Amino acid sequence: MFGLEKKDASLLILVAVLTIFAPFILNPFPDGSALAQFNAGYPDLMQRFVIFGIFAIGFNILFGLTGYLSFGHAAFLGIGSYAAVWMFKLLSMNVIPAIILAVIMSGLFALLIGYISLRRSGIYFSILTLAFAQMMFALAYSVLTPITGGETGLQLALDDPRILSMASSTDGNIPVPSLFGMEMRDSTQLTVGAWKFTFNVGYYFCSVIMLVAFYIAIRIFRSPFGLMLRAVKSNQQRLNYTGLNPRPYTLAAFVISGMYAGLAGALMASMDPLAGAERMFWTASGEVVLMTILGGAGTLIGPVLGAGAIKYMENILSKINGDILHTWFAFLPDGLEDFIVTIIYPFIGKGWHLTLGIIFMLVVIFLPGGLVEGGQRIMQKLRGKSADTDSAKTEPAE
Amino acid sequence: MSKLNLTRRGVIQTGAVAGAGLALPTYLSAAGHEGFTNAPTGSTVTFGFNVPQTGAYADEGADELRAYELAVEHLNGGGDGGLMNTFSSKALEGTGILGKKVEYVTGDTQTKSDAARASAKSMIEKDGAVMITGGSSSGVAVAVQALCQEAGVIFMAGLTHSNDTTGKDKKANGFRHFFNSYMSGAALAPILGKNYGTDRKAYHLTADYNWGYTTEEAVRTSTEAMGWETVAAVKTPLTQTDFSSYIAPVLQSGADVLVLNHYGGNMVNSLTNAVQFGLREKQVNGKNFEIVVPLYSRLMAKGAGANVKGIFGSTNWHWSLQDEGSKQFVKSFGEKYGFPPSQAAHTCYVQAMLYADAVQRAGSFNPCAVAEALEDFEFDGMGNGKTLYRAEDHQCFKDVLVVKGKENPTSEFDLLEIVEVTPVGQVTYDASIFGGELGTCNPGA
């Protein structure tokens, strides 16, 4: 189907089914129960899952295939967001022009930065991209305040021109981003017994784009172009000696992955029309590296899983506070309750970074191939077979 | 590139999948209408406390959270009732709000607009919060305020001092009790003129972000109006921790006053550097060199230690105030936590109370009804004297305190002394001078 091999097609279908039914899958606990704290099926977080999934898929095209570790990819995410918000301000609240301009702008910046940075490889390349990203962050944060809104971020205002649509909605408010009249924030709720499921327009819009992005990534992975990128990763010198110039290939990969990041940035702005400089900060660039490695670099689905895992911890673990812990362990005797809460407390709430760090260390030490490798091992255990090539899920880069 | 095989069946399959994908959102867009976002249905109502728990303003955030917990306790009838005893409006009875018990969820803004919005969104979408409050940075306040306007919930700003929050970026669903840069400038200038003379040359160091700009502008305008000259205004990065390289050129510039438009950790570091360089012992143009800090807080004074002695600044509230409201709040807070509250704690506690009172008076949680109850609401007994919530920009107007670092502190909390309580008339301005549009209130779905 769609010109894919059977196992890639089944992977694509699996991802499609997962994203379509995500509102059910992510809300396994009844509303109002103690475990409802762990439900992730609310629109904002589901949108983040797929948007950062796109970001990580794009990053993986560069890092997973060519092995070039860019430490400044968040810059493209930021550029995409700023471009999208400017389209909302100037043109209309339709998300299509915003996404198109964002992808073009981030592609142009990626071309420029890639052209310069790709003259070096290894750690020097990483440092160059990091330097560019930090320069852009600094520009966005202060010097370019008229364009970027500085620290406050770029926001919509009632007196923006919006030449293709009205500047304000009928009730005198700033209109919300929409796709030909379908507002991104619209949701409908389905109540089944004690369970409550939310279906959000913005989420499904992002999902469709994520599936397209995922499909394109599969095609790139399986194409001769993808093979050339893998050749760059495994031995660039040998490639040079065979008379091939790898730079056009790596530059193309860099621009494509920059455009993916711009697309993710535009979607972020479409879901929530604000662009802040923080999303260009180097920690944001580091986050996408973590996502890719946590999920499994060079695999197709790994980055998406990694993005989901990190965003889940950031949004769910960080909201558990001491009071909630006390209600969970209230059934224990007082002394024991306090003891257990004291042990767990550093790992939740504002301590979620600590939990993330521990999980990241465990994954890197015991599962170098990321969560995908963990999944493969479990599958093998279940099937009772030794290491085998038969894995429908992944295709390691090397 | 693998070959694209167009078969009839393939085209039909693809078309059907794409069609279903496009039709799905249309089907889903039939949103439920309950009158307004997160209308509380059960016996409880949920507030969202969105404060910085990590990052540069974590101290302020922790104090804000303490104040909110205290406010919830008082609203539900616990403790000694706090400011409900002195508040001029007697609508609240300590039985929750409109008979509903107040519950809350907390989130971490990390002092980043993105993180703050994500946290506020999850409170609105997941936890059903009907009001969001808190924050310790103007950037965050402006960002979350815009989000609340879109989502259709009320935003009660916490500590935010930039003019923009209720100026350029004001929103119909957002309200601010804290004072702003303009008021700081207007209150400080006469005191500076009286103490330092009207022929001074000022050198500004300004934190390079929104709040820094508006504060610098406010202080410049009001000091230049009385005859001061601004020699230079240098922007410093927000992440700067060592200001030595910025302090050195000050003495060569011929300036005799240094204005530090810094807040939090920035101010602690820049002031410490300036004092270490011996600026305060210097004589320039035949006058003593002076330092001014437009926005003071007790937590900052604590960080800067002995360096704050004798330095002027302004503040929203201070625990040593002797009116009934302030005494009551310090007592309630002190009994629960063992130390006096900061100005951040005070403004957040008052905001929570004002919201609860407005709901009670309006008889509804509908944001539009609440906004109407808050607009042009005049109250007293909350620690700042007579206060007005102006309808034009949703900004509170009240007396402003000009304070000075105390020469002989008696305890680790007794660091600032009140020099003057600037009457509200002197700091009132026309609502239109900062531009921006309030828009209309949005009750959401």
Residue by residue, DSSP assigns B102-143 as: EEEEEEE-TT-HHHHHHHHHHHHHTS--SEEEE-S-HHHHHH
What span, in angstroms and rounded, lies between the C-alpha atoms of A73 and A255?
A: 11
**A280: closest chain B residue by CA:** B114
Burial call B38-64: b when 16+ CB within 10 Å, e when fewer: bbbeeeebbbbbbbbbbbbbbbbbbbb
What span, in angstroms and rounded, lies between the C-alpha atoms of A263 and A79?
A: 10
Name the residue among A182, A219, A350 with its Cβ closest to that of B26: A182
- Lowest-pLDDT choice from A78-87, A229-238, A312-321, B365-374: A312-321
Q: How confident is the model at residue A389 (pLDDT cuts 50, 70, 90)?
A: very low
| CA gyration radius, chain B | 25
Single-letter amino acid, residue B279: L
Q: Is the pLDDT of residue B30 over 50?
A: no
In angstroms, the first-to-last Cα distance of chain A is 26
CB B342 within 8 A of CB B63: yes
Q: B230: which DSSP letter? A: E
Alpha-carbon distance B59 to nearest alpha carbon in chain A (angstroms): 13
pLDDT in tens, A67-97: 999 999 999 999 999 999 999 999 988 999 9
**Helix, strand, coil distribution of chain A in percent, nearest 5:** 70, 5, 25
What count of other Cβ atoms lies within 10 Å of the Cβ of residue B198? 12
- Residue A205 near chain B (CB below 8 Å): yes
CATH numbers and ranges of domains, chain B: 44-179+319-398 (3.40.50.2300), 182-315 (3.40.50.2300)
Q: How confident is the model at residue B205 (pLDDT cuts 50, 70, 90)?
A: very high
Q: Is the pLDDT of residue B319 over 60?
A: yes
CB < 8 Å from B in window 302-321 of A:
315, 318-319, 321
Q: A319 vs B119: CB contact, 8 Å cut-off?
A: yes
Interface predicted TM-score of the whole assembly (ipTM), two decimals:
0.81
Q: Assign residue B209 a region: left if phi > 0, alpha if psi is -120 to 50, beta otherwise?
A: beta
Chain A environment of B149 (Cβ under 8 Å): 173-174
CB A27 within 8 A of CB A195: yes
**A175: closest chain B residue by CA:** B150
What count of other Cβ atoms lies within 10 Å of the Cβ of residue A157? 16
Q: A2 vs B115: CB contact, 8 Å cut-off?
A: no
CB B220 within 8 A of CB B233: yes
Mutate to test the interface with B, among A6, A13, A135, A152 (most CBs of B within 10 A): A152
Which residue reads 């997973």 in tokens? A64
Tokens read off for A286: 């580091």
pLDDT in tens, B94-137: 889 999 999 998 888 888 888 898 889 989 988 889 999 998 88
Tokens read off for A179: 């796709």
* DSSP collapsed to 3 states, A322-371: HHHHHHHCCCCCHHHHHHHHHHHHHHCHHHHHHHHHHHHHHHHHHCCCHH
Predicted confidence at residue B136, as pLDDT, reads 85
CB < 8 Å from B in window 182-201 of A:
182-183, 185-189, 198-201
What count of other Cβ atoms lies within 10 Å of the Cβ of residue A185? 23
What span, in angstroms and rounded, lies between the C-alpha atoms of B214 and B220?
A: 10
What span, in angstroms and rounded, lies between the C-alpha atoms of B381 and A339?
A: 42
Q: Is the pLDDT of residue A391 over 50?
A: no
Kindly give the interhelix angle for A302-315 and A352-366, rounded to the nearest 10 degrees: 150
Contacts of residue A124, defined as CB under 8 A and 6 or more positions apart, other chains included, come to none
Q: How confident is the model at residue B25 (pLDDT cuts 50, 70, 90)?
A: very low
Q: Is the pLDDT of residue B371 over 80?
A: yes
pTM of the model: 0.84
CB A148 within 8 A of CB B209: no
Predicted confidence at residue A175, as pLDDT, reads 84
Predicted confidence at residue A397, as pLDDT, reads 52
Chain B environment of A141 (Cβ under 8 Å): 208-209, 238
Chain B environment of A138 (Cβ under 8 Å): 237
Beta-bridge partners for B257: B202, B290
- Residue A89 near chain B (CB below 8 Å): no
Question: B248-253: long-range contacts (C-beta < 8 A, 24 or more apart)?
Answer: B248/B277, B250/B203, B250/B274, B250/B279, B251/B277, B251/B279, B251/B282, B251/B284, B253/B203
Q: Is the pLDDT of residue B341 over 70?
A: yes
**B440: closest chain A residue by CA:** A172
Q: Is the pLDDT of residue A393 over 60?
A: no
Q: Is the pLDDT of residue A2 over 80?
A: no
Q: B261: which DSSP letter? A: E
Contacts of residue A216, defined as CB under 8 A and 6 or more positions apart, other chains included, come to none
Predicted confidence at residue B415, as pLDDT, reads 87
Q: How confident is the model at residue B10 (pLDDT cuts 50, 70, 90)?
A: low
pLDDT in tens, B415-441: 889 999 999 999 999 988 888 888 888
* Average pLDDT in chain B: 87
Predicted confidence at residue B33, as pLDDT, reads 43
Predicted confidence at residue A168, as pLDDT, reads 74
- Residue B54 near chain A (CB below 8 Å): yes
List the one residue out of B116, B22, B41, B366 whose CA is nearest residue A196: B41
Predicted confidence at residue B6, as pLDDT, reads 65
Predicted confidence at residue B28, as pLDDT, reads 39
pLDDT in tens, B257-307: 999 999 888 888 999 999 998 888 888 888 899 999 999 888 888 888 888
* Average pLDDT in chain A: 88
Pairs of CB atoms within 8 A across A/B: 149
Mutate to test the interface with A, among B5, B13, B126 (most CBs of A within 10 A): B126
List the one residue out of B303, B324, B263, B330 whose CA is nearest residue B415: B303
Alpha-carbon distance B249 to nearest alpha carbon in chain A (angstroms): 22
Predicted confidence at residue B22, as pLDDT, reads 52
In angstroms, the first-to-last Cα distance of chain B is 48
Alpha-carbon distance A380 to nearest alpha carbon in chain B (angstroms): 30
Beta pairing class for B400-405 and B416-422: antiparallel
Alpha-carbon distance A214 to nearest alpha carbon in chain B (angstroms): 15
pLDDT in tens, A91-116: 988 999 999 999 999 999 999 999 99
**What average pLDDT does this structure show over B7-32?**
56
Q: How confident is the model at residue A385 (pLDDT cuts 50, 70, 90)?
A: low
Q: Is the pLDDT of residue B62 over 80?
A: yes
Q: Is the pLDDT of residue B29 over 50?
A: no
Contacts of residue A249, defined as CB under 8 A and 6 or more positions apart, other chains included, come to A66, A225, A228, A229, A232
pLDDT in tens, A318-341: 777 777 777 788 888 888 888 888
